[in-house]
Amino acid sequence: MTYIADSSRYGSMTYNRVGRSGLKLPAISLGLWHNFGDDKRHDEQRAILRRAFDLGVTHFDLANNYGPPPGTAESNFGRHLREDFRPYRDELVISTKAGYLMWDGPYGEWGSRKYLISSLDQSLKRMGLEYVDIFYSHRPDPDTPLEETMGALDYAVRSGRALYAGISSYTPQQTLEAAHILADLGTPLLIHQPRYSMADRWTEQGSPNLYDVLDEVGAGSIVFSPLAQGLLTNRYLKGIPEDSRAAKEHFLRSASLTEEKLAMVRALDGIAQGRGQTLAQMAISWVLRPQPSGASSVTSALIGASSVAQLEDSLGALAGAEFLDDELAEIDRILAGR
């Protein structure tokens, strides 16, 4: 059945400018990390992607190693592009990354020019695209000069393989150095993709912290794992469901669900209920709040979705009220274990 996008798809989504660039991203973007591999039925994937776009989600985030197995998320997304989204390509922001292990030998991971450009070419082939909108260095490489890694991103943009350059999981100092190298080459750093949630606030730490640096260099931020691999949801308040990540020991380990952490989650859930939100919605609203340091807010929160219902619940975060000072103070108290 031919897909025709909802004509009202832009009515309820908020779009935020990425740093000092001209690009805007939806406040909530969809990541295809672990729900679009070959273990997920094609029709289930299609339903999630269609519903996301119908609700104004214009940004789909991938990486070469997304699956499982690695590479299949891009291959499957390429099929969805051909079948459903090709007419809407110019309304989409599609990103991919390279940095983790993809093939055997000395050129199959990290941040060399050889690996990054080879991986990007493979990603474009899997998705059937001439270019991606954003190409990221997925992680800093301790053994490759940063000038080489940033030079590869610059080349990806200049060669037409990507429109913008991004980095992920770089420290504030690495981010500052990367931005300066790219600026000297003439390709601005568009965006940083860090891990960030109520349970993991490393991006707020240090002086300057990551958001201070991003403000200085004019880059935006799109945060992944805002739900801390599912910890910041109500899934585990009454035990560990058999189909959960914790039960499967995928990324969130059951041993990490201590009574202390569950008590924290229950307390946060109480605040969410008082706000008329699910805990997941509040967790997403929280990462999108103005930064306590006075730096710019997070540009976009990157969510995953294993079902249409989960997607819709997460997008409901955008309807939440702004946080009161007392609510933020109570959340800080709970997170500090006081």
68 upstream amide cis, omega within 30 of 0: yes
Q: Please state the domain count of the chain.
A: 1
In a domain, 331, yes or no: no
Q: Look at residue 238 and tell me if it is in a domain.
A: no
In a domain, 207, yes or no: yes
Mean pLDDT lowest for which of 47-56, 234-243, 265-274? 234-243
- Please name the amino acid found at residue 88: Y
Q: What is the pLDDT of residue 1?
A: 74
pLDDT, tens digit, 9 for 90 and up, residues 70-103: 999 999 999 999 999 999 999 999 999 999 999 9
Structural domain harbouring 164: 15-227+295-321
Query: Strand ranges (DSSP E) for 86-200?
Result: 93-98, 132-137, 162-168, 189-193
pLDDT of residue 213: 98
Residue 338 domain flag:
no
Residue 248 lies in a domain: no
The mean pLDDT value for 306-310 works out to: 97
**Close Cβ partners of 86 (under 8 Å, ≥ 6 residues apart):** none
Q: Tell me what pLDDT residue 246 has.
A: 46
- State yes or no: pLDDT of 143 exceeds 60: yes
Cα 269 to Cα 23, 141, 148, 265, 266: the distances in Å are 35, 38, 46, 6, 5
Report whether pLDDT(190) > 70.
Answer: yes
State pLDDT tens for residues 243-293: 554 444 455 555 567 888 889 999 999 999 999 999 999 999 999 999 988
Inter-residue contact 117 to 156 (CB < 8 Å): yes
Q: Is residue 287 part of a domain?
A: no
- Please give the pLDDT value at position 243: 52
The domain spanning residue 171 has which CATH number?
Answer: 3.20.20.100
**Does 89 fall in a domain?**
yes
Q: Within a domain: residue 244?
A: no
